[in-house]
Amino acid sequence: MDVMLIIKANEMKEKFLFFFNHKLVQFSARLILGGVFIYASIDKIAYPKEFAAIVVKYQILPEKLAIYFAFLLPWVELFLGIFVILGFLVRESAISLSFLVLVFMIAILIRSLAGPIGNCGCFSITPSGTSQSIAFLIFRDVLFLLCGLILALSNKAKKLHESFLSQIY
């Protein structure tokens, strides 16, 4: 019984690692994560003052620090997004983007404690007219985080995959 369970667990692990390292999965994750961050940076670079006003509104960072953060963040998003898509420093960029997504999730949760979020400043800086649901924002960020983790852990997963195969054969 125990042996059967171990074999099944190993089979599942192998399938999971195979999925993780599949070229199509890696490519899709790169395209989604890179594309999303490049798209997100465009409006913020075009209207940095408006974006700074949104970041200040979160009231998490002191005003001056929030302004510097708001002006620098879109460029970081743009470069990391380009790196991920072009395949340059993919793992490092994916780790940085995953960290950014985590920061955004925490910021949204903190902001939501103070009341409904008008415009989260995630993509567009113009007022959305409707308040975005926290659950939707978090769910969306979890998907981006998943893409980031697929890329960030891919090398590790590849090594795991190889060591796993060497143990079997």
Partner 1 sequence: MSKKIKYIALFCLVSSAFLYAAIAANSFANESSRYIEVCANGIVYVPPNTKFVKCYGVIRKVIRFSDVLTESMEDCKCPKCCYGECYVPVISEMGEIRIMWMSC
Considering only residues 103 to 122 of the shown chain, the ones binding partner 1 according to CB under 8 A are 115-116, 118-119
Asked if residue 50 binds partner 1 (CB under 8 A), the reply is yes
Nearer to partner 1, 47 or 164 (CB): 47
Residue 64 binding partner 1, by CB under 8 A: yes
> Least distance (Å) from partner 1 to the CB of residue 88?
8
Annotate 123-146 with three-state secondary structure.
Answer: CCCCCCCCCCCHHHHHHHHHHHHH
Q: Which DSSP state fits 122?
A: S
Q: Determine contact, residues 21/161, Cβ cutoff 8 Å.
A: yes
Cβ 126 to partner 1 shortest distance, Å: 9
Contact between 34 and 81 under an 8 Å Cβ cutoff? The reply is yes
What CA–CA distances, in Å, run from 83 to 3, 79, 94, 139?
45, 6, 9, 25
Applying CB under 8 A, the residues found at the interface with partner 1 are 48-50, 52-54, 56-57, 59, 63-64, 67-68, 70-72, 74-75, 78-79, 115-116, 118-119, 127-131
